Amino acid sequence: MKAEDLKNNKEYKYGFTTEIENIKSPKGLSEETVKFISNIKKEPKWMLEWRLKAFNRLKVLKEPNWQKPKYPKINYQDLYYYSAPKSASEKPKSLDEIDPKILETYKKLGIPLDEQKRLNGIAVDAVFDSVSVATTFKDELTKKGIIFCSISEAIQKYPELVKKYLGSVIPLSDHYFATLNSAVFTDGSFVYIPPNTKCPMELSTYFRINASETGQFERTLIIADKGSYVSYLEGCTAPMRDENQLHAANVELIALDDAEIKYSTVQNWYPGDEKGVGGIYNFVTKRGACRGKNSKISWTQVETGSAITWKYPSCILQGDNSVGEFYSIAITNNFQKADTGTKMIHLGKNTKSKIISKGISAGNADNMYRGLVEIKNKAINSRNYTQCDSLLMGNKCGAHTIPYIKNGNATSTIEHEATTTKINEEQLYYCNQRGLDQEEAVSLIVNGFCKEVLQQLPMEFAVEAQKLVAISLEGSVG
Amino acid sequence: MLNIKNLEATIDNKLILKGFNLNIKPGEVHAIMGPNGSGKSTLANVLSGKSGYEIKGEIKYNGKSLSELSTEERAQKGIFLAFQYPLEIPGVNTNIFLRTSLNSVRKANGEKELDTLAFLKLIKEKSSELGIDEKFLSRQLNVGFSGGEKKKNEILQMKLLQPKLSILDETDSGLDIDALKIVAQGVNSYKNKDNAFLIITHYQRLLDYIKPDFVHVLSNGKIVKTGKAELGVQLEKTGYTNLV
Amino acid sequence: MKQYYDFKIEKIKGLSQEEIDSRKKNLELFYKNGFPNKKDEDWKFSDLNKILSNNFNNISNNDYLFKEKNFKQIHEFEHNFISLFNGQIISSDFSYEEKNKISLKVFNYKNEKNLDKKNSLNLLNHALASGGFSLEISKNYKLKKPIVIYNNFSNSLNETIVNYKNSIIINENSELNLINYIDNSSKENFMVNTIENIKMRKNSSLNNILINNSKCNGYFYKYTKNDLEKNSNLKNYLILSGLKFNKLDIEINLNEKDSKSSVFSALNLVKNEHQEIKTRINHNAPHCHSYQKVKKVLNNESKGVYQGKIFVKNIAQKTDAYQLSGALILDDAAEFDAKPELEIYADDVKCSHGSSSGSVDLNSIHYLKSRGIPEREAYELLINGFLSEILEKMQESELKNFLIKKLERQINEH
């Protein structure tokens, strides 16, 4: 231990004699890397121990391989686990240096030029830094006792809350990527809503997404105390150029008695080009625990980006009368692959869950809904309704549905419906006849197909999501 | 035959019937009219013994309290409800259902159960009276039936079971004029001095064909006005707004 | 875990050295895997290893000798028959049919070498199989009466496993009603592991009916591979309540245009009975239809499982595939598990599946009660209706009446 402490100290020193912007952690995954990250974030000892426990666990875990989309082996020793933003010289200096295709997309999304600059990291990073943005609203939130800060800050300022809830929904040793995240996560958001408080605004990570290169192992923890409500938005409605291959975030939600958490995601990471080169692997673990009675957790996701999306936002319905919801749109085009869905685990009495999943597949893409609905023996009078619809465009793509259904008592009902169809040609014809071109018509019909999910999104998000749906499918009909 | 006093019915903590009174004698036809949400269907459900309602007050049928009786016992004693939305029951053959039902009622009343042949003869007769195609009896109960077919099937069941008190819950809804006439004929041909009808309806339409002795206006869980057949006609013209 | 089985190839007589070697390889591979357990995705909901280890002390194999020849015949309808004892042909009778139209032989294992690494029960079958039959129906022949296969098992099978293979070929334009009939009420624990290959040539038609008659303590696994040519039509009816454990693993390959297949199943399970129906329908050609309706009523501590996969190849345009699984769970200790799966690579298709599980619909019960039907009868009526629906589209016949009666008995005996 002595020797190690010494070593820590050395690294620690190293960390603080250098400008943060220039720091990179040692290459590869090692105990040193874990300590380096913990040190540079000035974490307390318990946090480092927690990380090391995860790291030790990781040594015996294997990467899962049951998923449908296969990916080339990731060399974990070849990655940097902490790296500050790149220096200005490495960034595009003006919009001229940015891929014109991305600019075209921005134009369609109606994102103003300044915003475009910021999204590309041309504008000053500091303005876009998460903490400072959060402070804009801090007064209003603080008045209500709401805590909204980075997880790093929370570890320093609210260690009791973090200690109590971190890893309580996604255990340290849950599975390979979750454990990896636990060992090396760099930052993320922390939200605590005190009892009987309705959060007055949508909380969002939208503003701080430009911390891109360090964001590959995000960790988010949201706690809604008794009788509280929060709506949280994650993501970005413009595609990010990000050279990180692997994103393995962990998101944990905890809803206590009578509390409600609404979590919406619009994911539009770089999907790779038309030939399937490049793109992000989005392997995210999202899980919510309806811990209290009458609590509710609702996941809404619009997944249009990433080369591979592999995630199952889930609900553990522990409290009696608790409710879990999952609304999803997954669009895959070109060579994109998605393996996504949800798990609804019913433990409490009179628990309800609802799953609406819309998968759209075009080009050479593969789109999979995979889900589990399990009603345990003691979860009497529980209900699930699941609807999975897939839309195929062309015969080079695939649509797959694998629901696992387990009903363990006589008073509970599970209903599952799924359909797979092609885009309705008569509807297309009708639209064409009324003067819409093929792409407009497809966009209209697909948006109709997704309506139930889009309706779940907060207004301003929904509008952009609709445009995104259209853009994602460009060139898919010919 | 039926005496209802101060009936209160609550479901999901919501009070629907709030002190409802009604007396029906054999041979009478009563119509209950009222706007949506006035408690019409609740009344039908409560009389048939549907579970889930909390009941206060008194319902006497031929002098005996109904509250202790299960749904099937009420049916066996001659209370028949023609449902507003007859359920589709997949897999259950209509003929088999009708025979089981008839024999259950007969058995409960100490009558001999009908064998298949006797039953088929009877059902043939009753269905031809209503212009029901026999093929329809070999189909699954109400599955894929049109609205009119479902309602005719309800009337067929009524004629088969020969109830003393028939409650028709919005039987006219979803019927075209031809089907409406057939349904009305079915009722009229069954009507006699020993049985009674309670017709629950939103519109006067059905009452043009089945003449009621009394018309009651139900509003907010109570009867607010009672009159003769003319009241229905008047309501058709003026609407409920003046009354409720 | 204790080793609860011991298999020896030497017990099978009359094998050539080559066969012995091949069988040994299969057995070695089986021993590597053991009986399938829940870690195996195909056995996720039916942990056979656990079930067998809890119920058997030492399963072994035998070259089954049989003395019994008597068995109870079905009298309700006229039929041809093949009688098997422990998988071996004992007798057959095709007297209703024209001569030389039906060929029946003992299954020939000489050319069987298959090493199926994925399915350890198939490995075990390859290692230990004996007996079984090859049935072939000539071209352009429609059988006048059904063939009943009496699957008899002798009363001395305690702690043993019976393995055999069957092959059925139905040639062009021919038609057959086939009834696989199990009637065994021995209290002994035994296992039956069958592989069946069915080939259906152009325009042929087969009703393949599996029905169980009594309470049987056997543990059954049957893997059926069906290959369908152009415009052929296969219908499976699975009415197997009463078996202690049963898993049917049905693969249907719709290999040519316009072929059609359906799977209908009705099971009423009691006590700790456990049955799984697993299907894989491969739409390998355009314009094919598949239809599945799998229904279960689960009482006591029983467990019903359905795993059904519809696979549509990219060339299989105009596919029409439907799959429905439903379960009525009547007891809190009963369990229903399902995995209805779609894997689709063609866009001009109509594919859907639905699954529902839960208790009996109380509104339906109310409707029936309001017509004077007592509660218990109302439940029976609904359960009967729920299960017998699978027979609805079958052509009216003595056979259909027979099946309806058997199904009713399976329901009412509990």
Choose among C329, C349, C356: nearest Cβ to A410. C329
- Please write down the HEC assignment for all residues of chain C: CCCCEECCHHHCCCCCHHHHHHHHHHHHHHHHHCCCCCCCHHHCCCCHHHHHHHHCCCEECCCCCCCCCCCCCCCCCCCEEEEEECCEEEEEECCCCCCCCEEEEECCCCCCCCCCCCCHHHHHHHHHCCCCEEEEECCCCECCCCEEEEEECCCCCCCEEEEEEEEEEECCCCEEEEEEEECCCCCCCEEEEEEEEEEECCCCEEEEEEEECCCEEEEEEEEEEEEECCCCEEEEEEECCCEEEEEEEEEEEECCCCCEEEEEEEEEECCCCEEEEEEEEEECCCCCEEEEEEEEEECCCCEEEEEEEEEECCCCCCCEEEEEEEEEECCCCCEEEEEEEEEECCCCCEEEEEEEEECCCHHHHHHHHCCCCCHHHHHHHHHHHHHHHHHCCCCCCHHHHHHHHHHHHHHHCC
In a mutational test of the B interface, the residue from C265, C356, C373 whose CB has the highest number of chain B CBs within 10 Å is C373
Tokens of A440: 């407009």
Residues A282 and A401 in one domain: yes
Which of A150-154, A355-359, B66-70 holds the top average pLDDT? A355-359
Output the pLDDT for position A364: 86
Q: Residue A377, SS3?
A: coil
CA distance B168 to chain C (A): 13
Q: What is the CA radius of gyration of chain C?
A: 21
Residues A222 and A316 in one domain: yes
Size of interface B-C (CB pairs under 8 A): 82
Q: Could A419 and C351 be called an inter-chain contact, meaning their C-beta atoms sit closer than 8 Å?
A: yes
Residue A139 has pLDDT above 80, yes or no: no
Buried b or exposed e, range C122-156, using 16+ CB within 10 angstroms: bbbbbbbbbbbbbbbbbeebebebbbbbbbbbbeb
Cα–Cα distances in angstroms (integers) from residue C72 to residues A110, C183, C213, C214, C220, in the given order: 80, 8, 11, 12, 21
Choose among A393, A409, A422: nearest Cβ to C332. A409
Tokens of B196: 């009674």
The sign of the CA dihedral C359, C361, C362, C366 is negative
Output the pLDDT for position A468: 79
Pairing of strands C289-298, C320-329: parallel
Q: Could A397 and C347 be called an inter-chain contact, meaning their C-beta atoms sit closer than 8 Å?
A: yes
Residues A199 and A141 in one domain: yes
In a mutational test of the C interface, the residue from B89, B94, B158 whose CB has the highest number of chain C CBs within 10 Å is B89
Output the pLDDT for position A221: 93
CA atoms of A317 and A350, how far apart (whole Å)? 10
> How crowded is residue C54: how many other Cβ atoms within 10 Å of its Cβ?
9
| A314 torsion bin: left (phi>0), alpha (psi -120 to 50), beta (else) | beta
Residues 6 or more apart in contact with residue C242 via CB below 8 angstroms: C212, C213, C214, C215, C216, C273, C410
Task: Identify the band that residue A211 occupies on the pLDDT scale cut at 50, 70 and 90.
Answer: very low
Q: From first to last of the 244 residues of chain B, give the pLDDT tens digit.
A: 999 999 999 998 899 999 999 999 999 999 999 888 888 889 999 998 888 899 999 999 998 998 888 888 999 999 999 998 888 888 788 888 898 889 989 988 999 988 888 999 999 998 888 888 888 888 888 888 888 888 889 999 999 999 999 999 988 887 888 888 888 888 899 999 999 999 998 888 888 898 999 999 998 899 988 988 888 888 878 877 766 5
Structural domain ending residue among the three candidates A78, A109, A133: A78
C328 contacts on B by Cβ (under 8 Å): none
Scanning every residue of chain A, which has its alpha carbon at the shortest distance from the alpha carbon of C338? A405
Q: Could B91 and C368 be called an inter-chain contact, meaning their C-beta atoms sit closer than 8 Å?
A: no
Q: Could C367 and B87 be called an inter-chain contact, meaning their C-beta atoms sit closer than 8 Å?
A: yes
C44 contacts on A by Cβ (under 8 Å): 404
Query: What is the CA angle B136-B140-B145, rounded to 5?
Result: 60
Scanning every residue of chain C, which has its alpha carbon at the shortest distance from the alpha carbon of A364? C345
B86 contacts on C by Cβ (under 8 Å): 367
Q: How many helices (H) and strands (E) would you count in chain B?
A: 7, 12
CA distance C238 to chain B (A): 17
pLDDT digits (tens, 9 = 90+) for A399-445: 999 999 999 999 999 999 999 888 877 777 777 777 777 777 788 78
Residues 6 or more apart in contact with residue C232 via CB below 8 angstroms: C170, C200, C201, C202, C203, C204, C205, C206, C256, C259, C260
Single out the residue of C199, C198, C200, C227 nearest to residue C210, CA to CA.
C198
Buried b or exposed e, range A49-87, using 16+ CB within 10 angstroms: ebbebbbebbeebeeeeebbbeeeeeeeeebebbbbbee
CA distance B12 to chain C (A): 17
Interface check for C39 against chain A (CB to CB < 8 A): the answer is no
A404 contacts on C by Cβ (under 8 Å): 44, 337-339
Largest CA-CA distance found in chain C, in angstroms, rounded: 72
Judge whether C359 and A413 are in contact, CB under 8 Å.
yes
Residues 6 or more apart in contact with residue A136 via CB below 8 angstroms: none
Query: What is the CA angle C63-C69-C75, rounded to 5?
Result: 130
* Cα dihedral: C201, C207, C212, C213 (round 10): -130
pLDDT digits (tens, 9 = 90+) for C129-162: 999 999 999 999 999 999 999 999 988 888 999 9
Residues A38 and A169 in one domain: no
Judge whether A188 and A154 are in contact, CB under 8 Å.
no
pLDDT digits (tens, 9 = 90+) for C126-136: 999 999 999 99
Cα–Cα distances in angstroms (integers) from residue A396 to residues B94, C1, C282, in the given order: 47, 47, 17
Q: Could A401 and C41 be called an inter-chain contact, meaning their C-beta atoms sit closer than 8 Å?
A: no
Output the pLDDT for position A205: 65
Interface check for C10 against chain A (CB to CB < 8 A): the answer is no
CA atoms of B163 and C74, how far apart (whole Å)? 45
C350 contacts on A by Cβ (under 8 Å): 421
Output the pLDDT for position A346: 97
CA atoms of B66 and B75, how far apart (whole Å)? 11
Instruction: For chain B, list the strands marked E by DSSP.
Output: 2-11, 14-24, 29-33, 54-61, 64-65, 79-82, 89-93, 140-141, 165-169, 196-201, 214-219, 222-227
Interface check for B157 against chain C (CB to CB < 8 A): the answer is yes
What residue spans define the domains of chain B?
A: 2-238
**Count of alpha carbons within 13 angstroms of residue C4, beta-carbon side:** 17
Task: Identify the band that residue A122 occupies on the pLDDT scale cut at 50, 70 and 90.
Answer: very low
Residues 6 or more apart in contact with residue B41 via CB below 8 angstroms: B84, B169, B170, B200
What average pLDDT does range A239-253 have in this prediction?
71
Q: From first to last of the 414 residues of chain C, give the pLDDT tens digit.
A: 568 999 999 888 888 898 899 999 999 999 998 999 999 999 999 999 999 999 999 999 987 666 667 889 999 999 999 999 999 999 999 999 998 999 999 999 887 766 677 889 999 999 999 999 999 999 999 999 999 999 999 888 889 999 999 999 999 999 999 999 999 888 889 999 999 999 999 999 999 999 999 999 999 999 999 999 999 999 999 999 999 999 999 999 999 999 999 999 999 999 999 999 999 999 999 999 999 999 999 999 999 999 999 999 999 999 999 999 999 999 999 999 999 999 999 988 999 999 999 999 889 999 999 999 999 899 999 999 999 999 988 988 999 999 999 999 998 876
Residues A10 and A67 in one domain: yes
Scanning every residue of chain C, which has its alpha carbon at the shortest distance from the alpha carbon of A425? C348
> How crowded is residue C38: how many other Cβ atoms within 10 Å of its Cβ?
13
C381 contacts on B by Cβ (under 8 Å): 92, 96-97, 100
User: What's the fold here for domain B2-238?
Assistant: Rossmann fold (3.40.50)
| Neighbour subunits, B (≥3 Cβ pairs < 8 A) | C
CA atoms of C118 and C26, how far apart (whole Å)? 12
Residue A25 has pLDDT above 80, yes or no: no
Q: Could C389 and B90 be called an inter-chain contact, meaning their C-beta atoms sit closer than 8 Å?
A: yes
Pairing of strands C260-269, B2-11: unpaired
Residues 6 or more apart in contact with residue C389 via CB below 8 angstroms: B90, B91, B140, C293, C295
C337 contacts on A by Cβ (under 8 Å): 404-407
Interface check for A340 against chain C (CB to CB < 8 A): the answer is no
Output the pLDDT for position B243: 65
Output the pLDDT for position A22: 40
Task: Identify the band that residue A103 occupies on the pLDDT scale cut at 50, 70 and 90.
Answer: low
CA atoms of C132 and C117, how far apart (whole Å)? 23
Residue A240's domain spans which residues?
A: 100-425
- The percentage of residues in chain A with a pLDDT greater than 90, rounded to a whole number, is 29
Q: Could B81 and C369 be called an inter-chain contact, meaning their C-beta atoms sit closer than 8 Å?
A: no
Q: Return phi, psi of residue A417, to 5°.
A: -135, 140
Choose among B81, B89, B141: nearest Cβ to C370. B81
Output the pLDDT for position B5: 93
Interface check for C350 against chain A (CB to CB < 8 A): the answer is yes
Scanning every residue of chain B, which has its alpha carbon at the shortest distance from the alpha carbon of C360? B89
Interface check for B185 against chain C (CB to CB < 8 A): the answer is no
**In terms of C-beta density within 10 A (0-12 exposed, 13-18 middle, 19 or more buried), how is residue A195 classed?**
middle
In this structure, which amino acid lies at residue A70?
A: K
Element (H, E) at A222: strand A219-224
Output the pLDDT for position A208: 35
Query: What is the CA angle A28-A32-A36, rounded to 5?
Result: 100
Judge whether A432 and A423 are in contact, CB under 8 Å.
no
Q: Decide if A454 is inside a domain.
A: no
CA distance A224 to chain C (A): 32
Q: Could C358 and A408 be called an inter-chain contact, meaning their C-beta atoms sit closer than 8 Å?
A: no
Pairing of strands A260-267, A308-311: unpaired
User: End-to-end distance of chain B based on CA atoms, in angstroms?
Assistant: 29
Interface check for C331 against chain A (CB to CB < 8 A): the answer is yes
Output the pLDDT for position A413: 94
Inspect the structure and tell me whether chains B and A have 3 or more CB pairs less than 8 Å apart: no
CA atoms of A207 and A220, how far apart (whole Å)? 15
Tokens of A23: 């720091």
Output the pLDDT for position A118: 43
Residues A112 and A214 in one domain: yes
Structural domain ending residue among the three candidates A78, A112, A129: A78
Element (H, E) at A247: strand A246-247
In a mutational test of the C interface, the residue from B100, B153, B154 whose CB has the highest number of chain C CBs within 10 Å is B100
C314 contacts on A by Cβ (under 8 Å): 395-396
Q: Decide if A460 is inside a domain.
A: no
CA distance B27 to chain C (A): 22
CA distance A341 to chain C (A): 14
| Bridge partner residues of A307 (DSSP) | none
Cα–Cα distances in angstroms (integers) from residue A251 to residues A52, A66, A100, A126, B145, in the given order: 20, 22, 34, 25, 50
In this structure, which amino acid lies at residue C321?
A: A
Single out the residue of A82, A120, A308 nearest to residue A216, CA to CA.
A82
Q: Decide if A456 is inside a domain.
A: no
Cα–Cα distances in angstroms (integers) from residue B220 to residues B35, B201, B244, in the given order: 9, 15, 8
Query: What is the CA angle B57-B58-B64, rounded to 5?
Result: 160
C358 contacts on A by Cβ (under 8 Å): 407, 412-415
Total domains present in chain A: 2
Judge whether C269 and C238 are in contact, CB under 8 Å.
no
